[in-house]
Chains A and B, each alone.
Chain A
Amino acid sequence: MSSASLFDAFKNYMAKNYGKSHGKMLIHTGVIGWILSAAAQVMAIVTNDKISYKQKMYLIPQELADAAVNIVSFYLITQTFKSVSTKAVNCGKLLNKPVREFLEKNNIKNVGKKTFDVLRDGKLPADLTEKFESFRNGVDFIGTTAGSILSCNIVTPIIRNEIATHKQKNHIAKMEEYNISVANPARNYFEKPSIQSFQAKAYSSSLKI
């Protein structure tokens, strides 16, 4: 496949997949954005000489957890918010006045049911289809943004802080364990006796030569 036709295929893929949906594009680009951002931020923490080692032990896991939790909560919370808002409009649970009036006036059945699709089953005229689509886009954007605020700005910081705290405590415990072992190294099993210990044993009452 030539580079020109690859480029055309890319353009047509974008038009087909994202040309009608704001929310889907916001979710997909958001996830990739978090991964890239986390990588850069970890580098910034590592290279920041003004942050102490102890604080880095908290900030690096905090940043990594931020990206990981963000992705999961983005898919669970933001995707759910987006799906609920889109589905509520698509099936006719949430509609603007002109579309609702048209559906009622034309006695369209099953509006609001799970399987109902306003565009497919509503037989809307062209001007109402346009009004419906811009209303749906607005609700889609509001739903996706509300979900993003909840997941990225409330749920993620709480969970990432818990994870980072746990990681920092583990690191500190390991470091303290290491420091103790360096200060008091374990005695070798076949330890060579020092002259003092040999004399102490030799002249004690329990060892007679």
Chain B
Amino acid sequence: MSRIYGVNLISRMSGAITDTIVSAIPKTTISGNKTQKRIDWIGEKFSSPENRLILGVSALMTQPFIDAQNKKVDEETRKVSVARTVAKIIAGTLTGYYVRAGCIKLIDEMTKLPSEVKNPNSFGGKLRMLFTPDDAKTGALKSLKKYKNALGTTISLVVMLFTNFLIDAPLTKYLTNLFTDKFIKPKDQKGGTVNE
């Protein structure tokens, strides 16, 4: 009950903030042809893999510096924390991007309209229409590309259930140790643990 109340409260707060900000925004028209085209292009081409890539690149530009500025912990811990943050961003961004992009590509191949398939009744034909929703077949769903992106991203979550443990975490561990050995540990400490 209290959890539902909490979610409602956050939702209402967010709604009130949104209304206040929107009413404060002056009427704006994007008139530049180039800017308009760029915004349209982003809306058309970009989806969750690109979002993950942008987040990863911007994370590399901010998070290690925020960790390095945390003077409340000792220097060794701070340095290991920076190494782990960089390792985690690299591993997470690479796997996140490729898993999402791969799943969206796979869904794209298996969400064809009947008109795009040579033999719709054959096994191969049925496989290529496996994820095609009824609305798309009847023409009611205009934005099939967004549906494919959303479904591909959802499927990628299931895949990431495994890759998080099989690729992300071991790669983060490997890179953390690599960065720690190369850039943090003094030469005489190599082989042991830091600050043991």
- A interface vs B, CB < 8 Å? 8, 11-12, 14-22, 25-26, 29, 32-33, 36-37, 39-41, 43-45, 47-55, 58-59, 62, 75-76, 79-80, 83-84, 87-88, 91-97, 100, 111-112, 114, 131, 133-142, 144-145, 148-149, 152-154, 157-158, 161, 164-165, 168
State whether the Cβ of B188 lies closer than 8 Å to any Cβ in chain A. Answer: no
Main secondary structure of the interface of A (DSSP, over half): helix
Most buried by B among A21, A25, A40, A158: A40
The B141-182 residues at the A interface (CB cut-off 8 A) are 141, 143-144, 146-147, 149-151, 153-154, 156-157, 160-161, 164-165, 168-170, 172-173, 176-177, 180
What are 18 A-B pairs at a CB distance below 8 A? A12-B134, A18-B147, A19-B150, A21-B146, A25-B48, A25-B153, A36-B157, A54-B77, A59-B81, A88-B25, A92-B27, A93-B25, A96-B39, A135-B39, A137-B43, A138-B38, A145-B51, A152-B59
Pairs of residues from A and B, 4 with the lowest C-beta to C-beta distance, nearest first: A137-B43, A138-B43, A18-B150, A138-B39
- Which residues of A lie under 8 Å from residue B66 when comparing CB positions? 154, 157-158, 161
B14 and A76 contact, CB distance less than 8 A: yes
Smallest CB–CB gap between B173 and chain A, Å?
A: 4
A138 and B59 contact, CB distance less than 8 A: no
B172 and A44 contact, CB distance less than 8 A: yes
Select one of A58, A134, A149 contacting B58, CB under 8 A: A149
How many residues of chain B are within 8 Å of chain A by beta carbon? 84
With both beta carbons as reference points, the residue of chain B lying nearest to A129 in the complex is identified as B142
A141 and B43 contact, CB distance less than 8 A: yes
With contacts A54-B77, A153-B62 taken as known, whether A22 is within 8 angstroms of B164 at the C-beta atoms is no
With both beta carbons as reference points, the residue of chain A lying nearest to B194 in the complex is identified as A52
A148 and B194 contact, CB distance less than 8 A: no
In the complex, A114 Cα to B42 Cα: how many Å?
26
Smallest CB–CB gap between A43 and chain B, Å?
A: 6
- Which residues of A lie under 8 Å from residue B154 when comparing CB positions? 14, 18, 25, 29
In the complex, A3 Cα to B174 Cα: how many Å?
42
A55 and B55 contact, CB distance less than 8 A: no
With both beta carbons as reference points, the residue of chain B lying nearest to A144 in the complex is identified as B51
- Which residues of A lie under 8 Å from residue B38 when comparing CB positions? 138
State whether the Cβ of B1 lies closer than 8 Å to any Cβ in chain A. Answer: no
B29 and A97 contact, CB distance less than 8 A: yes
- Which residues of B lie under 8 Å from residue A54 when comparing CB positions? 77, 195
In the complex, A135 Cα to B31 Cα: how many Å?
12
With both beta carbons as reference points, the residue of chain A lying nearest to B136 in the complex is identified as A15
With both beta carbons as reference points, the residue of chain A lying nearest to B65 in the complex is identified as A157
- Which residues of B lie under 8 Å from residue A53 when comparing CB positions? 196
- Which residues of B lie under 8 Å from residue A83 when comparing CB positions? 14-15, 18
A80 and B18 contact, CB distance less than 8 A: yes
In the complex, A197 Cα to B70 Cα: how many Å?
52
In the complex, A22 Cα to B17 Cα: how many Å?
21
B14 and A36 contact, CB distance less than 8 A: no
